[in-house]
Homo-oligomer: A and B are copies of this chain.
Amino acid sequence: MGGPESPRPIATVDVVLLTLGPAGLEVLLAKREREPFRDRLALPGGFVHTDADADTGQTALRVLRDKTGLAPPYLEQLYTFSGAVRDPRGWSLSVVYFALLPEQVVRPAVVRDGCTLCAVERLPDLPFDHGRIIAAALTRLRNKAAYSSLPAFLLPETFTMDDLRQVYERVLGTRLDRSSFRRKIEEQGFFRPVEGERRTGAHRPAQLYRLAEARLAEFDRTI
């Protein structure tokens, strides 16, 4: 049958759950329950349970559910980090997933034991290579934001056109023209108006929109 001559690596899954709070992008960190780095803040993660998880995506969902009770509608595999030295227990491999959720959903879950939200600009010193992992997640988010519906997953189910534009602006770190933004968004057609408006003050109410599809949509590109 033949197997490897060397021991199998440790196989874990970590999750980078990002949300957008008043201070900007924030990442969910959890206090580690076990060694190594017990009681330190780190990305929520855990071993792959080969007797329970169908694949690593299921591991990611299980880990998030167990630590926060959350089930993010947007979850994608980010990258697999590996090597002999990233984990003091030995040669390890972490399949990292990347999730987005609106602040309104995450904030209540964080009151639970040991979870916290941390502004990505002010991260504490993190164990393993979790600092690098979060940096990779931010790069992915910022790249994909420019040509997809990704930032919308940081908003609640319905939102106004100005909410949407502001999320794009905050993720991309640039100003976007209101008129051009609306034009572009409307022609791509992956947001659709829903019945209802938002009234917030002494001015015209705003049409509410929602994602037309539950999954990520990408803008047309050309060479």
- Residue-by-residue, is A36-53 near B (CB-CB < 8 Å gives 1, otherwise 0)? 000000000001111110
CB-based contact A2/B95 at 8 Å: no
- Interface residues in A1-45 by Cβ distance below 8 A to B read 1-11, 34-35
From A74-82, A114-122, A193-201, A209-217, the one touching the partner chain is A74-82
Q: Do residues B80 and A80 form an inter-chain contact, with CB atoms below 8 A?
A: yes
CB within 8 Å of B: which of A141-155? 145-147
Contact, CB under 8 Å: B50 / A8: yes
> In the complex, which of the residues B2, B47, B79, B93 contacts A35, with contact meaning CB atoms closer than 8 Å?
B2
Do the beta carbons of B9 and A84 come within 8 Å of each other? no
* In the assembled complex, A172 has its CB within 8 A of some CB on chain B: yes
Pair B49/A223 contact, Cβ less than 8 Å: no
A98–chain B nearest beta-carbon distance, Å: 13
Q: Are B90 and A176 in contact (CB under 8 A)?
A: no
Given A4-B47, A6-B49, A7-B50, A56 contacting B93 (CB threshold 8 A): yes
* Residue of A83, A90, A146 ringed by the most chain B CB atoms within 10 A: A83
A204 on the B face (CB < 8 A): no
A56-B82 in contact (CB<8A)? yes
Q: A222 CA to B80 CA in the complex, in Å?
A: 28
Question: Chain B residues near A54 (CB, 8 Å)?
Answer: 83-84
Within 8 A of B (CB), among A82-140: 82-84, 89-91, 93, 95
Q: Which of B6, B82, B145, B223 contacts A172 (CB 8 A)?
A: B223
The yes or no answer to A203 lying at the interface (CB within 8 A) is no
How far does the alpha carbon of A80 sit from the alpha carbon of B176 in the complex, in Å? Answer: 36
Whether A89 and B221, one on each chain, are in contact in the complex, defined by CB atoms closer than 8 angstroms, is no
In the complex, besides A50-B90, A50-B91, A146-B221, 12 extra interface pairs with C-beta distance below 8 angstroms are: A1-B35, A2-B35, A3-B47, A6-B47, A7-B50, A48-B82, A48-B91, A57-B82, A80-B95, A93-B95, A146-B222, A146-B223
Contact sample, A vs B, 8 pairs, CB 8 Å cutoff:
A4-B49, A8-B10, A8-B48, A8-B50, A54-B83, A54-B84, A93-B93, A93-B95
